[in-house]
Structure 1
Amino acid sequence: MFVQWRDNTFLFSTTVIVGAVVVSWLLDQLFGSTAAVLLILQLAVVVVAFQCNSRFAYAAAVIEALSFNFFFTTPRYSLQMFRPEDIFNLVVFMVVAFITSTFADLYRRQQGELKQTKLQNSILLSVSHDLRTPLATIIGTLTTLNEYMPKLNDLERKELLDSATSESHRLHQYIENLLQATKLQHGTLKITKKDELIADIVRDAVSRLPNYTEKVSMNMDDSVGYLSVSRSLIEQAIFNVLDNAMRFSPENESVEVSLSKQALSCVIDVRDMGIGIKAEDAEKIFNLFYSGANNKSADSGTGMGLAVAKGIIIAHQGEIQSMPVSEGTLIRILLPLNQGAEQA
């Protein structure tokens, strides 16, 4: 709640400015201290400067200066000033306020550049590591096949080719997620929606998983019908969630997938019986390149899958969230039903 309030720049700035004037008025009534009043008003400008952009900071400086003139200088409740001390205090206040706002804006820009640099470094490190693994497997497999072809029987050759094919699909998925993540970051993801049977999309996403007939349990409500979506993007989002569940699901446990209707939403649940997610990580798992302490494994992936899935779902006016369960992890996708779905 506090974060949402703070993110509303106008409301936050107004609250801080008005609050500072009220506190200053109370201090003036109790102690009659001009220095305390100026410090409180200056503090308000500093807070606005660090939380909002420079325009709001400069506006706060002007408003607080006028407030000091109107409420705290002689004659009271007038914009006139006659005492040299008050004029000097006001000038110093304005100079300090504008300098503070300028430095705060510079600091904010530097922090933004630092954050962007860290993100770029994370991308390079993550991509170079995670793309190298399937590439090394493909190269090793094909090299073995090339050098020992005459000595290998048909079954061994098939196993090597299947391994190379599987790693090729894995590499393709990494690259696809990287491209979609880049588009989402720059706001260039284009969505062309059509009425599609959501049950078919879910089944297609499941069929892309290796050994899905043995590892996935489906409970589908085909009456959900049609949704207005981009088929390829929604399929990718669902596949990313499924792929994540498969990675952390025990070998002897299946991943459960269900499709149902709930009020005006289509509900897609994907549950695995793995180690689960800590409550404090429930939102973080959808951050780009996030990898929780519980998810440190050799096959944990790039950390892009769920972030890309969230971006795609939000672009379809939907929601994706981690639901609390007693065991394992449950990721729920909510997509808005359209008239076609309701009539089906």
Structure 2
Amino acid sequence: MLNKVLTQKRYIYAFSICTVLLFSLLAYILSLMFLPKTGILIILQLAVVVVSLSTNRTATIIADILGALNFNYLFTSPVYSFQMNSAEDIINTITFIVVSSLTSEFSIRYRNKSEALEQAEIRSNILLSVSHDLRTPLANIIGSLSTHNEYKEKISHAEQQRLINSAIDESHRLHNYVENILQLTRIKNNTYNYLFVPQSIWQVIKKVEDRFSDPRLSIHKGECLKDVLIQTSLIEQAIYNIVDNALKYSPSESKVTIAVRSDNHFTYICITDNGPGIAQQKLQHIFDLFYSSRKGDSGQGGSGIGLTVSKGIVEAHNGDISAQSTDQGCIFEIKLPVGEPNAQN
């Protein structure tokens, strides 16, 4: 996780420097043609604004300082030096630094406000989703247990067991939904405490199989599976969400297959179903938050959270997740980088 954070910071700082250099080059080319110093300063300030809207405060400060140095080196007399002989150039440089700093501060505040509004919208959508998706399993649990309690003396033992099993199934459904809400909140707020250790993915697959205990679920193990660097509970939840969807939308008599294999660089987990498939225009949106086939409170479809959570978890493991529709259903593939060079049988 630390390496990932350092890589992101290097990318941000590299983006900041490259943006200023690119805009400086543009300003230099235009200055050779017709552009006055005022126009040059505007272009350099624009570079700082672009950086501030895309990165953080530190990268913006770097862009501000680099822009001022470029203006001094390329556009003030004596050219190609960091000296200034003109009072006007000195004033222009100071003005550039002040205006760029203020503009970047406004840009950062605007971005923070936009992110806050986005978080508020997410929270609102979560509440709307919760109001629907918690209500249904809770109503079923209450209904089953109330019926059992009220009529247990009048109904058969088999009917009592059916009601209890129904309540248990709905409890598992409720637990899975709450777990996804929790993982989604952590992903959006970036509050995960990752602890990745090399583990066999096969043990995770077996746990997923045990959670379903569904005869329609078939798992296949490739030869020489390699360990992956994962946090077991998270990857288990990511796989569970996909398999849950596959079982939910597949015909009751059809199989859902989990196939696992490894090469020298990645371990691949393929979940294949025989459901109705996904329309091509919808395929690119299935991992979007709250994207669902459900219309309002009716119709078949989930809350639009599970696949988003799966994608966030897999990407946090430096992996990739993809989906494709076939003539006989869908194929979801999770790709995780291997964590150990030694194969595990």
| TM-score in terms of structure 2 length | 0.80
Residues 133, 113 of structure 1: alpha-carbon distance in 2 compared, 3 angstrom cutoff: same
Runs of at least 5 residues in structure 1 that lack an aligned partner in the other structure: none
Greater fraction of residues in helix: 1
Q: 1:138 deviation in Å? A: 0.8
**Whole-Å separation in 2 of the counterparts to 1:254 and 1:232:** 25
**Whole-Å separation in 1 of the counterparts to 2:236 and 2:115:** 33
Identical counterparts, % of pairs: 36
> CA-to-partner distance for each residue in 1:152-192, whole Å, 9 max, x for gaps?
33343333222212111211222333344445554444657
Aligned runs of 1:1-344 on 2, under 5 Å?
8-31=11-34, 33-184=36-187, 185-189=189-193, 191=195, 193=197, 196=200, 198=202, 201-209=204-212, 212-213=214-215, 215-216=216-217, 218=218, 220-221=220-221, 223-224=223-224, 227=227, 232-277=233-278, 284-287=285-288, 289-292=289-292, 294=293, 296=295, 298=299, 300-314=301-315, 318-323=319-324, 325-336=326-337, 342=343, 344=345
Q: 1:87 deviation in Å? A: 3.8
RMSD over equivalenced CA pairs, Å = 3.5
Q: 1:107 deviation in Å? A: 0.9
Contact 1:247 1:299 in 2 (8 A): no
Q: 1:203 deviation in Å? A: 4.2
Q: 1:300 deviation in Å? A: 3.0
> Which amino acid in 1 is paired with 2:71?
F
**Whole-Å separation in 2 of the counterparts to 1:302 and 1:325:** 24
Residues 103, 165 of structure 1: alpha-carbon distance in 2 compared, 3 angstrom cutoff: same
**Whole-Å separation in 1 of the counterparts to 2:77 and 2:337:** 61
Contact 2:321 2:333 in 1 (8 A): yes
> CA-to-partner distance for each residue in 1:229-249, whole Å, 9 max, x for gaps?
665554443322210112222
**Whole-Å separation in 1 of the counterparts to 2:314 and 2:305:** 14
| Deviating more after overlay: 268-277 vs 179-188 | 179-188
Give the length in aligned residue pairs.
335
Provide the secondary structure at the position in 1 that maps to 2:212. coil
Residues 250, 189 of structure 1: alpha-carbon distance in 2 compared, 3 angstrom cutoff: farther
| Deviating more after overlay: 56-65 vs 259-268 | 259-268
**Whole-Å separation in 2 of the counterparts to 1:32 and 1:221:** 66
Q: 1:30 deviation in Å? A: 1.2
Contact 2:254 2:274 in 1 (8 A): yes
Contact 2:198 2:340 in 1 (8 A): no
Contact 2:270 2:332 in 1 (8 A): yes
Contact 2:267 2:337 in 1 (8 A): yes
> Which amino acid in 1 is paired with 2:72?
N
Contact 2:27 2:40 in 1 (8 A): yes
> CA-to-partner distance for each residue in 1:209-231, whole Å, 9 max, x for gaps?
36x22x33x25236446746665
Residues 34, 121 of structure 1: alpha-carbon distance in 2 compared, 3 angstrom cutoff: same
**Whole-Å separation in 1 of the counterparts to 2:201 and 2:95:** 67
> CA-to-partner distance for each residue in 1:67-88, whole Å, 9 max, x for gaps?
2233223333344444444344
Contact 1:250 1:274 in 2 (8 A): yes
Provide the secondary structure at the position in 1 that maps to 2:150. helix
Contact 2:45 2:100 in 1 (8 A): yes
Provide the secondary structure at the position in 2 that maps to 1:110. helix
Provide the secondary structure at the position in 2 that maps to 1:259. strand
Provide the secondary structure at the position in 2 that maps to 1:320. strand
> Which amino acid in 1 is paired with 2:119?
Q
Contact 1:5 1:12 in 2 (8 A): no
Q: 1:282 deviation in Å? A: 5.0
Runs of at least 5 residues in structure 2 that lack an aligned partner in the other structure: 1-6
| TM-score in terms of structure 1 length | 0.80
Provide the secondary structure at the position in 2 that maps to 1:124. helix
Contact 1:282 1:321 in 2 (8 A): no
> Which amino acid in 1 is paired with 2:100?
A
Residues 35, 271 of structure 1: alpha-carbon distance in 2 compared, 3 angstrom cutoff: same
**Whole-Å separation in 2 of the counterparts to 1:148 and 1:42:** 76
**Whole-Å separation in 2 of the counterparts to 1:13 and 1:247:** 47
